Amino acid sequence: MRCFQVQLKSGKKRWECIADGPPHPSTGKRNQIARRGRTKGEAKQRVLDEIELQSAGLDRNASKHITFDAAANMWYETYSKSGKKNSTLLRRRKEIKSLNQYMAKQLITEVTHYLYQTTIDKLANDYAETTINGIHDCANQIFRFSIRNKWIKENPATDIVKPKKQKTVEQIKQDSINEKYFDRDELREFLTAASTYGLKYDKERFYALAFSGMRPGELCALQKHDLLFETNEIDISKTIYTETNNMKDYDLTPPKSYGSVRTINMEPFVMDMLKNVIHENDKHKMKYRKLIEGFHDKDFVFARQNGYPFYTIQLNIRMKRLLKKTSIKKHATPHIFRHTHISMMTEAGIDLPTIMERVGHEDAHTTMRIYTHVTKKMKRKAPEKLSNLYKEILQK
């Protein structure tokens, strides 16, 4: 790059820098880029910025032609290379699709704060608050990406107001911490129903979830070598992911975070149930591996007849069926067993750091809420326990 001072007609001096940019796309001829600035550094940076834009296939007036969906696609292309999990990438694509409903062909330079606020207001009518938070975060990243590329100067998502719906009495009740886990009687009732009315694998899966704190996807991803029967441990190092719920279309990916890779001790009773499952699987495999065309020999603990794993959607279906056999009124999904396990360990007097390590520390906020809630209930019962323990002394 060459830099030198030039004198303007007004008599003022400016720095000018010249460098070779990408060759002309159609002729292949040399393309020299010259920019001026008050300082040498300013002129040099302007040249570098222009080279970067042209290298990306854009010109200095690119912002005049870039629509929101084009900017979103370019951001996503970079974002998808950041090592994010497939489930995260899928969620981002859905969030972009939601934003594109109202802003797709709007020029990025014409997306104002008011336009974006209107978009969020409309989306809030169709989606839950947590979904809106995700959509807003996605838009924020797209706008910051556009600022870095000098397509826009300001972020239209700054100081946006996210609408909040007034909750009904029923919704407030559902948000209660009591709704997030089964108490001891509810757990006993559900597991009794699983043992009495459960279909194949129901009893074993729901017992394993309740006494391990595993996420449903981690349970579905378990393979034979993950069960350490000699030490009564389970090695949790992966989760299962699918976009289509097609049994042959799945990926085994790392769990939610590094802290989620863990080895946990299990109740011998549960491990004995799982050992029986493995024994039956091995017998089935020896008998049908050659008979079933395309048998999927990956040793999944909970597998279909052809060896392919089940997904969490099937767990949800089985759980809804069993809940109808109980008096439980909670709107529960298999994830409730994770929170139930936290409450079980809290009642057992296990400290919070140990609990978080065992469950893989997915949501410190929810874990803390359950831990605090159960601890308070235990404290309220403390005088009663003390009274029963020292009943004779108190009576005297």
- pLDDT confidence bin for 381, thresholds 50/70/90: low
Tell me the H-state helices in the chain. Answer: 40-55, 68-79, 86-103, 113-124, 129-148, 169-175, 184-197, 202-210, 216-220, 268-288, 312-323, 336-347, 352-359, 364-389, 391-395
Q: Distance (Å, rounded) from C-alpha 224 to C-alpha 309?
A: 12
Lowest mean pLDDT among 14-18, 188-192, 383-387: 383-387
218-223: long-range contacts at Cβ-Cβ below 8 A with a sequence spacing of 24 or more?
Answer: 218/255, 218/260, 219/302, 219/315, 220/302, 220/309, 220/310, 220/311, 220/312, 220/315, 221/252, 221/300, 221/309, 222/300, 222/301, 222/302, 223/298, 223/299, 223/300, 223/301
In tens, the pLDDT along 72-92 reads 999 999 999 888 888 889 999
CA–CA separation, 231 and 43 (whole Å): 68
How far, CA to CA in Å, does 169 sit from each of 91, 174, 334?
30, 9, 24
Cα atoms in the 13 Å half-sphere on the side-chain side of 163? 15
**Burial letters 270-284, b for 16+ CB under 10 A, else e:** bbeebeebeeebeee
The amino acid at residue 8 is L
Convert the pLDDT of each residue in 236-285 to its tens digit: 999 998 888 888 989 998 887 777 899 999 999 999 999 999 999 999 98
Mean pLDDT confidence for 145-171 = 83
Q: How far is CA 298 from the centre of its chain?
A: 26
Q: Is the pLDDT of residue 102 over 80?
A: yes
pLDDT tops 80 at residue 212? yes
Q: Is the pLDDT of residue 25 over 90?
A: no
Question: By percentage, how much of the chain surpasses pLDDT 70?
Answer: 89
pLDDT (0 to 100) of residue 271 = 96
| pLDDT beyond 90 at 336 | yes
Q: What is the pLDDT of residue 110?
A: 92
Least confident of 125-139, 180-194, 247-261, 333-347: 247-261
- Nearest to 269, CA basis, from 335, 210, 181: 210
Band of residue 173 on the pLDDT scale cut at 50, 70, 90: low
**Complete DSSP assignment for 297-312:** -S-BSSB-TTSPBP-H
Cα–Cα nearest to 346, from 181, 185, 215: 181
